[in-house]
Chain A
Amino acid sequence: MGVGIQVEDLNAWYGSTHTLQDINLHIPANHATALIGPSGCGKSTFVRCLNRMHETNPIARATGVVKMGEVDIYREASPVEIRRRVGMVFQRPNPFPTMSIYDNVISGLKLNGFRNRRVLDETVERSLRQAALWEEVKDDLKKKSGASLSGGQQQRMCIARALAVDPEVLLMDEPASALDPVSTSKIEDLIFQLKSQYTIVIVTHNMQQAARVAENTGFFLNGKLVEFDSTHKIFTNPRDKRTEDYITGRFG
């Protein structure tokens, strides 16, 4: 089951660039939340702060409070623990090139020392079914490299890989931006099904996509969260002039 995320006064820097400024918002559990905004506005940095991937860059730092359920992830947990509870899907599919499809999906468990064969087999099947990829790959699980799949299949495999560790939150950083329309709609169907079990945060440049999959939408501009509300409200009756300009295509 997913957990809600409470963000208070989050600030982030890359070197001396202040990329996120005083972000406050609540992401509700078991819903999909979309983040929109022009390139470079800080949405990717924001999601990377939610699983502490932000700090893997040596010049990056962040301050503020991010609570995942009851846990303050910056003070009460290690990055490794948090990343096990928060799955992440990246902009471009990033399979492990030396591993088979099976090993790719199970890598989160295997690399953390989990070895029970029966559980691994079951997890691979469950995760691939959740990611709507099982039927396409079930016969080549151990024969084919994860990198030999098509781009859309690779991305669904990466989603299965993130789901295999049984996360509570799934972060998706423009998961469909490198994919064709057919693969994109498969990923969107997937998000629609998954959000009953996981808290999903999706960064997207595609406003129709945000409207289709997310209950809530946040609009970022120049490192600030301009507006956060129900998706319906944002797209029909935004409070802020800048949000309206952006969604009607007047800039960005």
Chain B
Amino acid sequence: MSTQPLQSQSLGDPRKPSRVNILRRSISDHIVTGLAILATILVLAPLAAILFYLVYKGASSLNLAFFTHIPAPVGEEGGGMANAIVGSGIILALASLMGIPVGIAAGVYLAEFGSGTFLGNAVRFTADVLNGVPSIVMGIAIYSLIVKPHPPYSAFAGGVALAIMMVPTVTRTTEEMLVTVPHAVREAALGLGVPKWRTVLSVSLRTASPGIITGCMLAFARVAGETAPLLFTAFGNQFWSLRLDQPIAALPLQIYVYAISPYDEWHRLAWAGSLVLIALIMVSVTLVRIFANRGVLKGGS
């Protein structure tokens, strides 16, 4: 604090703001807050609009048969998407089982071992480029790598295509979350004579786990709605199939086929399928979040 007498207010001494100054600050405060709220509404509006439209168009076609029956032949009433719902579940489980461990392991390498090394930079660059590869290209790539040498189309090939699409998101979030774990926390573990691998597993990863789980959920939600990578890999199936080496139905594929068909009944089912797909994504993401929070909060905080 200055011991000099304050200058008169009219000269605009910044140490003692005038009434006009305070008014101006409070107005700009309100304007910026208002802009932030407006932006939030703009972000939420499309999601709300899509949800409302899906409910409006699809809810009327939802019934028990939709969840228990396979598609009916053209011209017959009824039928459902039970095989596509289960098929999507299988493909996504395969993709998560393959993509998430690889993604997390690569992220751990980037953050804990490979920072500044040539390999580390190469992995980071590759992950960023992979993130930008169009999903149809991923489908074609897996077609020529897996389906062509080992026909037929299969659930496994679809799972691989989606897994590869999940890897870059999971890798980069894992890396970024690990970097935010304070150095002091790692030192605490190392200082107790805990080996580095154990420190990474039990301390760094555990501390970063809420963020890493969010990254996995983002990756999951993104690939859950993908159609293009499945066209040439999982292919789709109008009948029940749980086999991993055979073509399998998936919700996005079924929606795609029904939506471009000429039949009104199929259009209605496509709307219902879209509604179910979005609902399933929302439910699974929410469940994982609740489950994960319970695990993390066990230590209390």
In the complex the two chains form, what is the Cα distance from A247 to B203 in whole Å? 41
Q: Which of A92, A95, A98, A112 has the most CB of B within 10 A?
A: A98
Chain B, interface size category, equals: 20 to 34
The reply to whether B193 and A97 contact each other, CB–CB distance below 8 Å, is no
A97 touching B301, Cβ below 8 Å:
yes
Total interface residues on A, CB under 8 Å, equals 35
Query: B185 interface residue, CB < 8 Å from A?
Result: yes
In the complex, A99→B299 CA distance in Å? 5
Q: Which residue of chain A has the shortest Cβ distance to B192 in the bound complex?
A: A108
- Binary CB contact string for chain B from 178 to 199 against chain A (1 if under 8 A, 0 otherwise): 0000101101111111110011
Of B185, B190, B198, B209, which contacts A96 at CB under 8 A? B185
From B184, B192, B194, B202, give the contact of A162 (CB < 8 A): B192
In the complex, the answer to whether B299 meets A108 with C-beta atoms within 8 Å is no
Q: B301, A148: Cβ atoms under 8 Å?
A: yes
- A145 proximal to B (CB < 8 A): yes
Q: Does A100 lie at the interface of the complex (its beta carbon under 8 Å from any beta carbon of B)?
A: yes
CB of B241 closer than 8 Å to a CB of A: no
Residues in chain A near residue B207, CB distance under 8 A: 96-98
Residues of B within 8 A of A144 (CB): 300
Mask: chain B, 150-194; 1 = CB below 8 Å from A; 0 = not? 000000000000000000000000000000001011011111111
Contact indicator B300/A148 (Cβ below 8 Å): yes
CA distance A81 to B209 in the complex (A): 29
A19 interface hit (Cβ, 8 Å)? no
User: Smallest CB-CB separation from A142: which chain B residue?
Assistant: B300
**In the A-B complex, the 5 residue pairs with the closest CB atoms:** A84-B193, A108-B192, A83-B193, A94-B184, A88-B191
Measured CB to CB, the residues of B under 8 A from A are 182, 184-185, 187-195, 198-199, 202-203, 206-207, 209, 296, 298-301
